[in-house]
Amino acid sequence: MKMSVAHPTSAPPSAVPTRRRALAPLEPVRTQSQWLLGIGFFIVFFAVWSFFTLGGYVSPTFLASPVTMAQEAILLFTEFNFSHDIAMTIWRVLAGFVLAALLAVPLGIAMGAHKGIEAFLEPFVSFCRYLPASAFIPLLILWAGIGELQKVLVIFIGSVFQIVLMVAVCVGAARRDLVEAAYTLGATPSGIVKRVLIPGAAPEIAEILRLVLGWAWTYVIVAELIGSSSGIGHMITDSQALLNTGQIIFGIIVIGLIGLVSDFAFKALNRRLFAWSSL
């Protein structure tokens, strides 16, 4: 008689619990952990900054301490109307960026959808994309003076060519099978653009605008460094002449905070408008 030996049954692979590792590649992080890690970096940053400045390792002439910066920040708001400078800088960024987006997004869609338009415009757009916006400031001062238009145009020039080319690449990368399926169903060329290319590229176009908005903040500071009587860049220039590193650092931090808030707002708006794209 042949006796059968019972073997322990092993659980199917799907039933074996997987152990998550915090530092594993592409492992997602919980929202709460993301906030804690992000805030933790700033805590470490300010701790190191305080150690070197308050400990006397760095001269206040070259780098003010967080305490000195806070005192200068209060002085800016109470005696120098810094809130007006912040409002002027925000207005210039939004004006130049919105004008650039209104022109660049339709032009980029046209380039991405129609290869003839792309062949005609792409060399010029690529050429202009490598030109620094600051190089146009002397010409813009001659053409538009040193008023608001000159500063808005610096942001416009710095943003428009980037948006055009990135949108064109995004739209041109549409899936060919969707286009062919739309033609099979009787769609016209204009219908392909309106019903296939634009809806498919809309989430990525919104992400492109979010990224370029961050670049626009660098252009506005450059524009305000020359011939400006208001704005965060103007304040930084005046503080540099007085060797007031506390005000300079605070101006830089304000720019970063405004940019961070606008970035979070853009992300929230994109998730609300294109919730289906993250599924």
Structure tokens at 253: 């931090």
3-state secondary structure 46-97: HHHHHHHHHCCCCCCCCCCCHHHHHHHHHHHHHHCCHHHHHHHHHHHHHHHH
CA dihedral 218, 120, 173, 164 (to 10 degrees): 20
Task: Give residues with Cβ within 8 angstroms of 125, minimum separation 6.
Answer: 111, 161, 164, 165, 168
Cα end-to-end span (Å), the chain = 60
Q: How far is CA 267 from CA 158, 208, 261, in A?
A: 22, 11, 10
Q: Which residue has the tokens 């590193």?
A: 245
Model pLDDT for residues 134-162, shown as the tens digit of each residue: 888 888 888 888 888 988 999 999 999 99
Structure tokens at 30: 């919980």
Model pLDDT for residues 221-256, shown as the tens digit of each residue: 888 877 778 889 889 888 888 889 999 999 999 998
Task: Give residues with Cβ within 8 angstroms of 272, minimum separation 6.
Answer: none
Residue 42, burial from CB neighbour count under 10 angstroms (0-12, 13-18, 19+): exposed
Buried b (16+ CB within 10 A) or exposed e, 199-221: ebbbbbbbbbbbebbeebbebbb
CA gap 88, 210 in Å, rounded: 21
- Give the global pTM: 0.81
Per-residue pLDDT of the chain (279 residues; tens, 9 = 90+): 445 545 555 555 544 455 556 567 767 778 787 888 888 998 999 999 999 998 888 888 889 999 999 999 999 999 889 999 999 999 999 999 999 999 999 999 999 989 899 999 999 999 988 888 888 888 888 888 888 898 899 999 999 999 999 999 999 887 777 777 777 877 787 888 888 888 888 889 999 999 999 888 888 888 887 777 888 988 988 888 888 999 999 999 999 899 889 888 888 888 888 876 654
Q: Give the 3-state secondary structure percentages of the chain, helix then strand then coil, rounded to 5.
A: 75, 0, 25
CATH: 1.20.1250.20, 1.10.3720.10, 1.25.50.10, 3.10.20.90. Which one for 58-278?
1.10.3720.10
Per the CB < 8 A criterion, the answer to whether 198 and 168 are in contact is: no
Angle at the Cα of 123 (from 120 to 124), degrees rounded to 5? Answer: 90
Per the CB < 8 A criterion, the answer to whether 221 and 210 are in contact is: no
